[in-house]
Amino acid sequence: MALIPNIENLTIVTQNVIPDLAEDAYLDQAMILAGGSPAVPDTEYTVSGKTITWDEVAAGYNLEVGEVVTVDYTYDDHTVGAGGTGGVYDATDPGQNPVTTDYDLIVIIQNTVPNLIHTPVANSFTLKVNGVLKTEGVDWTRSGRNVTWISGSTLVVGDVVTYAYRVPA
Protein backbone atom coordinates (compact mmCIF):
# COMPACT_ATOMS: atom_id res chain seq x y z
CA MET A 1 0.00 0.00 0.00
CA ALA A 2 1.18 3.50 -0.78
CA LEU A 3 -0.40 6.42 1.02
CA ILE A 4 -0.76 9.25 -1.49
CA PRO A 5 -1.59 12.83 -0.47
CA ASN A 6 -4.27 14.50 -2.56
CA ILE A 7 -5.84 17.95 -2.64
CA GLU A 8 -9.10 18.57 -4.47
CA ASN A 9 -10.98 21.81 -5.14
CA LEU A 10 -14.66 20.86 -5.25
CA THR A 11 -17.36 23.24 -6.48
CA ILE A 12 -20.67 23.14 -4.61
CA VAL A 13 -23.50 22.27 -7.04
CA THR A 14 -26.23 21.74 -4.44
CA GLN A 15 -26.39 23.85 -1.27
CA ASN A 16 -24.60 22.14 1.67
CA VAL A 17 -23.64 19.08 -0.42
CA ILE A 18 -19.93 18.54 -1.03
CA PRO A 19 -19.26 16.49 -4.21
CA ASP A 20 -17.63 13.08 -3.75
CA LEU A 21 -13.86 12.80 -3.57
CA ALA A 22 -11.94 11.10 -6.37
CA GLU A 23 -10.52 8.52 -3.93
CA ASP A 24 -11.51 7.01 -0.56
CA ALA A 25 -10.04 9.11 2.25
CA TYR A 26 -7.61 6.94 4.23
CA LEU A 27 -9.05 6.21 7.69
CA ASP A 28 -11.92 8.58 6.79
CA GLN A 29 -9.72 11.59 7.55
CA ALA A 30 -9.67 14.84 5.56
CA MET A 31 -9.05 18.53 6.22
CA ILE A 32 -11.46 21.00 4.63
CA LEU A 33 -11.22 24.68 3.80
CA ALA A 34 -14.80 25.97 3.42
CA GLY A 35 -16.06 29.52 3.33
CA GLY A 36 -12.45 30.75 3.51
CA SER A 37 -11.77 29.05 6.86
CA PRO A 38 -10.77 25.60 8.07
CA ALA A 39 -13.80 23.47 8.97
CA VAL A 40 -13.89 21.47 12.22
CA PRO A 41 -13.76 17.69 11.63
CA ASP A 42 -16.41 15.51 13.31
CA THR A 43 -18.38 18.65 14.24
CA GLU A 44 -18.94 20.60 11.02
CA TYR A 45 -18.37 17.62 8.73
CA THR A 46 -17.76 13.87 8.69
CA VAL A 47 -15.97 11.71 6.12
CA SER A 48 -16.85 8.20 5.01
CA GLY A 49 -14.83 6.91 2.06
CA LYS A 50 -15.43 9.37 -0.80
CA THR A 51 -18.40 11.03 0.89
CA ILE A 52 -18.19 14.19 3.01
CA THR A 53 -21.31 15.12 4.96
CA TRP A 54 -21.61 18.82 5.83
CA ASP A 55 -23.51 19.90 8.99
CA GLU A 56 -24.57 23.49 8.31
CA VAL A 57 -26.23 23.79 11.75
CA ALA A 58 -23.02 22.92 13.63
CA ALA A 59 -20.94 25.02 11.21
CA GLY A 60 -23.25 28.00 11.55
CA TYR A 61 -23.30 28.70 7.80
CA ASN A 62 -24.34 27.17 4.51
CA LEU A 63 -22.14 26.05 1.65
CA GLU A 64 -23.64 27.96 -1.26
CA VAL A 65 -23.84 26.88 -4.91
CA GLY A 66 -20.69 28.00 -6.76
CA GLU A 67 -18.45 28.06 -3.67
CA VAL A 68 -15.20 26.11 -3.88
CA VAL A 69 -14.32 23.76 -1.00
CA THR A 70 -10.71 22.58 -0.76
CA VAL A 71 -10.22 19.07 0.63
CA ASP A 72 -6.78 17.80 1.70
CA TYR A 73 -6.61 14.05 2.35
CA THR A 74 -4.54 10.90 1.89
CA TYR A 75 -5.63 7.77 0.04
CA ASP A 76 -4.28 4.23 -0.34
CA ASP A 77 -3.46 3.43 -3.97
CA HIS A 78 -3.34 -0.32 -3.11
CA THR A 79 0.04 -0.92 -4.76
CA VAL A 80 2.60 -3.37 -3.46
CA GLY A 81 5.80 -1.72 -2.29
CA ALA A 82 9.02 -1.87 -4.32
CA GLY A 83 10.49 -4.26 -1.75
CA GLY A 84 7.65 -6.73 -2.23
CA THR A 85 6.03 -5.86 1.09
CA GLY A 86 2.72 -7.39 -0.01
CA GLY A 87 0.64 -4.40 0.99
CA VAL A 88 2.24 -3.79 4.40
CA TYR A 89 3.03 -0.11 4.91
CA ASP A 90 6.78 0.59 5.15
CA ALA A 91 7.58 4.23 5.96
CA THR A 92 11.18 3.77 4.75
CA ASP A 93 10.09 2.69 1.24
CA PRO A 94 10.14 5.81 -1.00
CA GLY A 95 7.54 4.17 -3.25
CA GLN A 96 5.13 4.06 -0.31
CA ASN A 97 6.19 7.22 1.47
CA PRO A 98 6.91 9.77 -1.28
CA VAL A 99 9.28 12.61 -0.52
CA THR A 100 7.53 15.89 0.17
CA THR A 101 8.95 19.35 0.45
CA ASP A 102 7.72 22.65 1.78
CA TYR A 103 9.45 26.00 1.77
CA ASP A 104 8.83 29.73 1.95
CA LEU A 105 9.70 32.35 -0.65
CA ILE A 106 9.31 36.12 -0.40
CA VAL A 107 7.46 38.15 -3.05
CA ILE A 108 9.88 40.68 -4.58
CA ILE A 109 7.69 41.95 -7.45
CA GLN A 110 4.04 42.88 -6.84
CA ASN A 111 1.56 40.23 -8.08
CA THR A 112 4.40 37.95 -9.19
CA VAL A 113 4.68 34.57 -7.50
CA PRO A 114 8.24 33.14 -7.20
CA ASN A 115 8.92 30.05 -9.35
CA LEU A 116 9.10 26.57 -7.84
CA ILE A 117 12.31 24.60 -7.31
CA HIS A 118 10.79 21.37 -8.73
CA THR A 119 7.84 20.41 -10.91
CA PRO A 120 5.41 18.93 -8.34
CA VAL A 121 3.80 15.52 -8.63
CA ALA A 122 0.24 16.00 -9.93
CA ASN A 123 -2.46 16.80 -7.34
CA SER A 124 0.04 17.31 -4.51
CA PHE A 125 0.63 21.09 -4.68
CA THR A 126 -0.58 23.65 -2.15
CA LEU A 127 0.14 27.36 -1.92
CA LYS A 128 -0.30 29.66 1.08
CA VAL A 129 0.24 33.42 1.31
CA ASN A 130 1.13 34.69 4.77
CA GLY A 131 -0.16 31.39 6.20
CA VAL A 132 -3.54 31.47 4.39
CA LEU A 133 -4.29 28.63 1.94
CA LYS A 134 -5.05 29.92 -1.56
CA THR A 135 -7.24 28.14 -4.12
CA GLU A 136 -6.10 26.91 -7.53
CA GLY A 137 -8.08 28.49 -10.35
CA VAL A 138 -9.33 31.24 -8.04
CA ASP A 139 -6.10 32.78 -6.70
CA TRP A 140 -3.42 31.12 -8.83
CA THR A 141 -2.66 28.73 -11.69
CA ARG A 142 0.39 26.52 -12.23
CA SER A 143 2.17 25.12 -15.25
CA GLY A 144 5.26 23.08 -14.45
CA ARG A 145 7.44 25.20 -12.15
CA ASN A 146 5.68 28.47 -13.01
CA VAL A 147 2.92 29.82 -10.78
CA THR A 148 0.77 32.74 -11.96
CA TRP A 149 -1.18 34.97 -9.58
CA ILE A 150 -4.73 35.57 -10.90
CA SER A 151 -6.57 36.70 -7.78
CA GLY A 152 -8.31 40.06 -7.58
CA SER A 153 -6.40 40.63 -4.33
CA THR A 154 -2.91 42.08 -4.55
CA LEU A 155 0.18 40.01 -3.83
CA VAL A 156 2.53 42.60 -2.34
CA VAL A 157 6.30 42.81 -1.94
CA GLY A 158 7.27 41.10 1.32
CA ASP A 159 4.39 38.60 1.36
CA VAL A 160 5.52 35.10 2.34
CA VAL A 161 4.50 32.40 -0.15
CA THR A 162 4.62 28.84 1.23
CA TYR A 163 4.74 25.92 -1.19
CA ALA A 164 4.16 22.26 -0.23
CA TYR A 165 4.16 19.33 -2.66
CA ARG A 166 5.45 15.85 -3.43
CA VAL A 167 8.79 15.76 -5.20
CA PRO A 168 8.98 13.56 -8.31
CA ALA A 169 10.95 10.32 -7.88
* pLDDT tens profile 28-53: 999 999 877 889 988 999 999 999 99
Per-residue CA distances from 87 to 1, 5, 62, 105 (Å): 5, 17, 40, 38
The beta strand positions in 26-125, using DSSP E, are 30-34, 37-38, 45-48, 51-54, 68-76, 100-106
**Cα–Cα nearest to 136, from 145, 125, 144, 120:** 125
Is the pTM here over 0.85, yes or no? no
> Does residue 93 surpass a pLDDT of 80?
no
Strand pairing partners for 41? 45
